[in-house]
Amino acid sequence: MKVIQDGDKSAKIRDKVLEQPEAIKLLSRVEQLRLLSKAEKAGLLSTAENLGLSLSSIEKLGLLSKAEDLGVLSAATNPKTPGNLLATALVLFLLGPAFVYLVPEDSTPLVVLQVLVAAISVIGGSAAFAASSFVSTLQRSE
């Protein structure tokens, strides 16, 4: 029987080294996907400017610092964010039909409430699903 000593290079069994996942480089990924060029070609930048949202107005309103304070930028680099957004989308997609099924249609206000909850569920679920897909694409390393 061979005794393995600490530091023996011929040892067959080695300690596992826990590797840290590679940091997500958000701006590099935005550049790699050419998102700004695609936004420009789609006319999103001129539309935003026509609506009064220019770079100077973003700076004056402090939107970037507010986004940092709310954790939007760190959420974009968090590996759990796409899954959380997808779970939120699924809950919202289930909420609408469940609400319509469970709330009686006894009066006009209840029917209006059903329509509002169903619409919010569809719009919110679609937005969460799209955000999940977008963040997942940003985080994917190629």
Give me the residue label for tokens 């701006």: 27
pLDDT band (50, 70, 90) for residue 16: very low
In one-letter notation, the amino acid at residue 137 is T
Domain extents for the chain?
23-73, 78-142
Cα(80)–Cα(70) distance, integer angstroms:
17
The DSSP call for residue 5 is P
Cα(31)–Cα(37) distance, integer angstroms:
9
pLDDT at 71: 83
Give me the residue label for tokens 């100077």: 56
- Indicate whether 3 pLDDT > 80: no
Mean pLDDT of all residues belonging to the chain = 82
Residue bearing the bigger pLDDT, 127 or 61? 127
pLDDT band (50, 70, 90) for residue 15: very low
* pTM, rounded to two decimals: 0.66
Of the candidates 30, 141, 16, 142, the one whose C-alpha atom is nearest the C-alpha of residue 79 is 141
| Cα–Cα–Cα angle for 51, 53, 55, rounded to 5 degrees | 150
Q: What is the mean pLDDT of residues 51-64?
A: 82
The two three-digit tokens of residue 43, written as one number: 């006319």
pLDDT tens readout for residues 77-116:
888 999 999 999 999 999 999 999 999 999 999 999 999 9
